[in-house]
Amino acid sequence: MPAAIIPKEAVLDRLAAAFRQHGYDGASISRLSEATGLGKASLYHYFRNGKQEMAEAVFAHVGGNFQELVIVPLTRTGDPTRRLRAAARGLDEFYGRGDWSCILDLFGIGSARQIFQPQLRSVVTGFESVLSDLAQEAGVDRITARRRAEDVVVAIQGALVVARATGERKAFTRVLKELPNRLLGID
Amino acid sequence: MPAAIIPKEAVLDRLAAAFRQHGYDGASISRLSEATGLGKASLYHYFRNGKQEMAEAVFAHVGGNFQELVIVPLTRTGDPTRRLRAAARGLDEFYGRGDWSCILDLFGIGSARQIFQPQLRSVVTGFESVLSDLAQEAGVDRITARRRAEDVVVAIQGALVVARATGERKAFTRVLKELPNRLLGID
DNA sequence: GCTACATTGTACCGAACGTTCTAACCGGAA
DNA sequence: TTCCGGTTAGAACGTTCGGTACAATGTAGC
């Protein structure tokens, strides 16, 4: 069998980039074909159910990256502040230093919403509970920990929106730098 | 001459609702026609340049609402905390109690981005500077005021994204309630 | 070299896209 | 009452949409 011209990993990365740039509804099959360098036939060969399956694969792939870059560092053992700094570095990479939109934002809009809303919800609550657990481990009481975890997720998402609107990533960079203080610091 | 079946105000409100629900690329002319109750001919009669002009009109209209509901209360005279609470009520209404997406988010995605990015930027900087001025008026030093103003904008945008993802508006409601503390409160 | 099969380019489908057009409608000025 | 012109519905334009069909390609295993 002829080997794939390009590894599936790379295909998913390029699909993700296209979805991030155009959103779900704006990412047409032709654009996805251009972005990957694969013809329509190849795309439909790999993703029998078309655009929706591409988006689902991207969602899973990106979720894996997030797990690896952010969740894993957070759930290690060791000093909570160091773990948060590692997660901040992971987030910086995961979001292309603030240049990339979050799938959580994009897939909550338009026709993607019908497909992904339940999964979006569980990603948010999952991330929040990992953050909250870390804060409690560092001695923060449960109520405060949950509130701060929510604040951190809100701040990350908001910073990405603001970065995209202004064309500057300074808000995003600052949120990441302040991440340990935002979760563990004084009220 | 026959009067318009529906006032232009109402048309813009319905167009805005449709854009908010589907995003720019997802809001097709047929959907915009359904949403307004106007046929394609009427839509193109009022907006000669089609979808782009509709979006521009919506942007201006929504911008006017924002000015009226949020900026005006912030730039009145009187106690800064009271003004912030009034602005919070305005934001609550402006964002449909947290159920509506922000144009700042939606129009930063896909083909709308090319059209609106400069205007998005100036909306953000404008809102931030009004907030920052208010904080300074309340005695906050300039550096801190600017940082907190940015934080507030980030928090509002992030809360809307999280609310859409989770289907709950509690994050948004909390951000609004904490708004005076977030801008004026202790570090 | 032959076969089997994963992969690909190309042509094509019906539907929907944004837009244009025409013809009808209808209230007010003449 | 006639007619003007703002307003309307809806058909039709060419293009692109998401998706399918199929024949050609080329390599791995025999």
Print pLDDT tens along chain A (187 aa). 344 568 888 999 999 999 999 999 999 999 999 999 998 999 999 999 999 999 999 999 999 999 999 999 999 999 999 999 999 999 999 999 999 999 999 999 999 999 999 999 999 999 999 999 999 999 999 999 999 999 999 999 999 999 999 999 999 999 999 999 999 986 5
What does the DSSP 8-state code read for residue B185?
A: S
Residues of A in contact with B185 (CB under 8 A): none
Print pLDDT tens along chain B (187 aa). 445 668 888 999 999 999 999 999 999 999 999 999 999 999 999 999 999 999 999 999 999 999 999 999 999 999 999 999 999 999 999 999 999 999 999 999 999 999 999 999 999 999 999 999 999 999 999 999 999 999 999 999 999 999 999 999 999 999 999 999 999 986 5
Whether A45 and chain B come into contact, CB under 8 Å, resolves to: no
Strand C nucleotides where any atom sits below 7 Å of a protein CB: 4-11, 16-23, 25-28
CB contact under 8 A, A153 and B151: no
Backbone φ and ψ of A28, nearest 5° = -80, 165
CB contact under 8 A, A165 and B117: yes
At residue A1, the pLDDT reads: 39
Contacts of B72 (CB under 8 A, 6+ apart): none
At residue B67, the pLDDT reads: 98
- Give the CA radius of gyration of chain A: 18
**Helix, strand, or coil here: B169?**
coil
Q: Which helix (H) or strand (E) holds A152?
A: helix A142-166
In chain B, whose CA is at the least distance from the CA of A175?
Answer: B151
Residue A22's alpha-carbon distances to A25, A106, B113, in angstroms, are: 7, 9, 9
- CA dist., res. A149 & res. A127, Å (int): 8
Domains recognised in chain A with CATH numbers: 52-184 (1.10.357)
Give the distance from CA A78 to its chain's centroid.
25
At residue B8, the pLDDT reads: 87
At residue B6, the pLDDT reads: 80
At residue B1, the pLDDT reads: 43
**Helix, strand, or coil here: A38?**
coil
Mutate to test the interface with A, among B101, B123, B157, B170 (most CBs of A within 10 A): B157
Q: Quickly list DSSP for B134-164.
A: HHHHTT--HHHHHHHHHHHHHHHHHHHHHHH
Q: In terms of residues, how long is chain A?
A: 187
In chain A, whose CA is at the least distance from the CA of B149?
Answer: A171
For the stretch A99-118, pLDDT in tens is: 999 999 999 999 999 999 99
At residue A7, the pLDDT reads: 83
